[in-house]
Structure 1
Amino acid sequence: MRKLLPPPGPLRPLALATLLSRVGNGLLMTISVLYFNRIIGLSIAEVGLGLTIAGLFGLLAGIPFGHLADRRGPRTLFVILSLLLSVLALLYLVIGTFWQFLVVASVIAILDRGSNAVRFALIAGVTQGSAARVSARAYLRSMTNIGVTVGAGLGAVALSFGTATSYRLMFCVYVVLGVISAFVVLAVPRVAPRPKPADGPVWIALRDRGYLAVSGLNAAISIHYSVIDVAIPLWVVDHTDAPHWAAALPLIVNAAGVAVLQVRASRGIVDTVSAARATRTAGLLLLASMVLFATASVGDAAIAIAVLAVAALVQTAGELLQSSGSFLLGFDLATEQAQGQYQGVWNTSTSVSSMLAPAVMALLPLGLGVPGWIVLGAWFALTGALFVPVVRWAAARQLVGSR
């Protein structure tokens, strides 16, 4: 466990806060849809529509909240947003209609996406240099995976009881963990507000074509995050001879691999050139893993299980490189005096990706079968290859703009 912790300093309380809050997130990820459906009485269609609309509102939050973090300082703002998120979750215990659900979910989505941008600005504020920031994101991502896994286990306990009381108790646990994690962040040194530029446009991140282009590529390749939890369960059950429990195998391999290896994988990412090259390699690994997932449909149960395990290992290797490259590019291509605003743009790109990914999974691997897996893999390989020239162009623009 010590190897998963950052060195003593401001990242230690951030790591603890991340672990606590992600336990709560994993808990709600496990029970929330069933709670809304079975306890509140919303239909699955209503839940899906409500969460989609809330997600659209959330897309609008990252950039303005990130800008606010630049002007006011990220630490206190992050604590306030974290406390609001935790307390507002209690409203889920008293809602009874779709419209009430939609309002609460939308407000929470706005605060959640905004707090993510502020969190990244806080990381940028308490670390100096590319290597330190990449390492920080890697440590925190390891904590995220551990926390979500533990939270999912707690949620499974509530599901085993299946009562309204057990579900509501989990929401209360989420709130308690969120409040504690928010106060833990107060142990992080205060980050001074960024000086306001004397002249020039306010929303500089939205005018930075190089950064926007790399953010777009990041959104395109980040679709791979939904392969494990969206496409694989249905693929295993409907298209392979593997037993149904094997649908969880890639998720377990991925979660464990990221938790243990993310920090180590990030050590070779030291500048925009190495980050772009790592992402190019990641695209090729993701192509290979998509081909392997496709071939799991050929052969008996034992072969399918073995192929799924190997495919998950290859996919995890690609994910480790892609995420490490993303950590550096999101920070290094940003203007230092507007890190919060730029992190809002980067966070929005990943939000767009997570919204589009389920449709891509339904259209390609689940809709077209084996050819769909090949097309998806080719998409990852092509997108990864584009990172090298596009990042070079964006870095050159940044260098010219700084003169």
Structure 2
Amino acid sequence: MSAATDTPAANGLLPAPGPLRPLALATLLSRVGNGLLMTVSVLYFNRIIGLSIAQIGLGLTVAGLFGLLSAVPLGHLADRRGPRTLFVVLSLMVCGLSLLYLFVHTFWQFLVVSIVLTVVDRGAGAVRSALIAAITQGSGRVAARAYLRAVTNIGIMAGAGIGAFALHFDTGTAYRLMFVLDAALSVVAALVVLAVPRVAPLPHSDDGPVWIALRDRGYLAVAGLNAGMSIHYAIFDVAIPLWVVDHTNAPRWTVALTLIINTVVVALFQVRSSRGISDPKSAARATRTAGLLLLASMVLFAGASWGNAAVAVGLLALGTLVQVAGELLQSSGSFLLGFDLAPDHAQGQYQGVWNTSMSISTMVAPTVLALLPLGLGVPGWIILGVWFAVVGVLFVPVVRWAAARQLVGSR
């Protein structure tokens, strides 16, 4: 049975009737749980279990490396078996594995649980993307991903607010309750996905190579550029807090201000920003514009180190607005390119490649930000901005080449 639709775009606060609605509800529930754990997990590992910050960082880094191995094969399995049921199974496995953290007492236990959990979770992300590809078509895919990203931000904000109660009590019981609540929300979310019509496995031929996504040089090149551009997602988590506190006269609450601006703007305007991005050509152009906006925002962040408190706050707020404008365009372009440059019969495998490239970006971003803006100061911000602009400009010819290769390959 095919559940694909051309019109899954949001209609008011809800998506149009169809398979996207239960997926949106499931996304909201699961992201509330994510927000809970993002707020309390590191403190739980450090203050309650007794792991050092170095041990936590090492464990999560090693787990991230293992996580790179799962997205492509599980995405391929989604193509062969159908993504909906596989996504539900993997989501339930993630729920169970996350609860194992409550029984962790040593670093090695933490490392093993983190590795297994990350492998399953990264694979589930690729299967989820394959499910979105299966229930949407054409420009509706971009609108669907944009809507789900807006829902994601809302859910994480809500989860962070609930997690603040655990931070207030600062007890092992309060932190453990957040893990249990996350698991409960995630179980409900997984079951809600069963309301999405079943997607039949895609027909395939036993002739030819199995891992076609790994042989598609055009797709790999675009995914690599997208990974290079996506470093900007870590700016507000890694660079801005230390930059504000150590290099500007802005008050500490400015860190929270930039996060609020970014999160609220994405929640309000992600869907609107995706309109007009209907094919690889328009997606590449949007990404080129995003690179220039990111360059401008890096210059504004750098300038915040030269003024008094009022000037610093103003430049940081303006830089955040410019950055989020670039983020909206870049993410919308990324949504379309990841789907449209992949053949429909292998969306799961290709989404695995796309998700893996994003995972690599997430892993290297803290190091890049530590070496450039935090290590070099103002020149580092400028270098980073030029990087975004150059990568954005490269998108146009590289996407044109990848699309031409795809057209030749489909004949």
Using structure 1 for the length normalisation, give the TM-score: 0.99
Report the CA distance between 1:175 and its aligned residue.
0.4
- Map 1:247-262 onto structure 2 (within 5 A): 247-262=255-270
Letter of the 2:384 partner, please give it: L
Report the CA distance between 1:2 and its aligned residue.
6.4
- Map 1:145-160 onto structure 2 (within 5 A): 145-160=153-168
Whole-angstrom distance in 2 between the partners of 1:331 and 1:229: 28
Using structure 2 for the length normalisation, give the TM-score: 0.97
Aligned twin of 2:285: 277
Letter of the 2:52 partner, please give it: S
Whole-angstrom distance in 2 between the partners of 1:89 and 1:398: 40
- Map 1:22-41 onto structure 2 (within 5 A): 22-41=31-50
Aligned twin of 2:6: none
- Can you list the C-alpha shifts for 1:192-219, whole angstroms capped at 9, x where unaligned? 1011224110000000000000000000
Counterpart check, 1:221 vs 2:225:
no
Whole-angstrom distance in 2 between the partners of 1:4 and 1:35: 35
Aligned twin of 2:200: 192
Whole-angstrom distance in 2 between the partners of 1:89 and 1:396: 43
- Can you list the C-alpha shifts for 1:152-204, whole angstroms capped at 9, x where unaligned? 11111100110000000000000000000000000001011011224110000
Aligned twin of 1:166: 174
Contact 1:242 1:301 in 2 (8 A): yes
Counterpart check, 1:9 vs 2:36:
no
- Indicate which of 143, 165, 175 corresponds to 2:151: 143
Whole-angstrom distance in 1 between the partners of 2:290 and 2:262: 15
Letter of the 1:16 partner, please give it: L
Aligned twin of 2:5: none
Aligned twin of 1:316: 324
Aligned twin of 2:70: 61
Report the CA distance between 1:4 and its aligned residue.
4.0
- Can you list the C-alpha shifts for 1:352-380, whole angstroms capped at 9, x where unaligned? 00000000010000000000000000000
Counterpart check, 1:389 vs 2:397:
yes
- Indicate which of 233, 242, 248 corresponds to 1:234: 242
Aligned twin of 2:4: none
Counterpart check, 1:202 vs 2:224:
no
Whole-angstrom distance in 1 between the partners of 2:207 and 2:354: 24
Whole-angstrom distance in 2 between the partners of 1:47 and 1:2: 42
> Identity over the aligned pairs, expressed in percent?
74
Counterpart check, 1:291 vs 2:302:
no
Counterpart check, 1:109 vs 2:114:
no
Letter of the 1:167 partner, please give it: Y
Whole-angstrom distance in 1 between the partners of 2:373 and 2:14: 37
Letter of the 1:401 partner, please give it: G
Residue 15 of structure 2 aligns to a residue whose secondary structure is coil
Report the CA distance between 1:87 and its aligned residue.
1.3
Residue 191 of structure 1 aligns to a residue whose secondary structure is coil
Residue 39 of structure 1 aligns to a residue whose secondary structure is helix
Letter of the 1:60 partner, please give it: L
Aligned twin of 2:3: none
- Can you list the C-alpha shifts for 1:208-233, whole angstroms capped at 9, x where unaligned? 00000000000000000011111000
Kindly tell me the number of residue pairs found equivalent between the two proteins: 402
Whole-angstrom distance in 1 between the partners of 2:157 and 2:301: 23
Contact 1:249 1:308 in 2 (8 A): no
Aligned twin of 2:130: 121
- Can you list the C-alpha shifts for 1:250-306, whole angstroms capped at 9, x where unaligned? 111010000000000001100000000000000000000000001011111111111
Report the CA distance between 1:6 and its aligned residue.
1.4
Whole-angstrom distance in 2 between the partners of 1:233 and 1:176: 32
Whole-angstrom distance in 1 between the partners of 2:333 and 2:12: 21
Whole-angstrom distance in 2 between the partners of 1:362 and 1:180: 39
Letter of the 2:361 partner, please give it: S
RMSD over equivalenced CA pairs, Å: 0.9
Contact 1:87 1:175 in 2 (8 A): yes
Aligned twin of 2:59: 50
Aligned twin of 2:107: 98
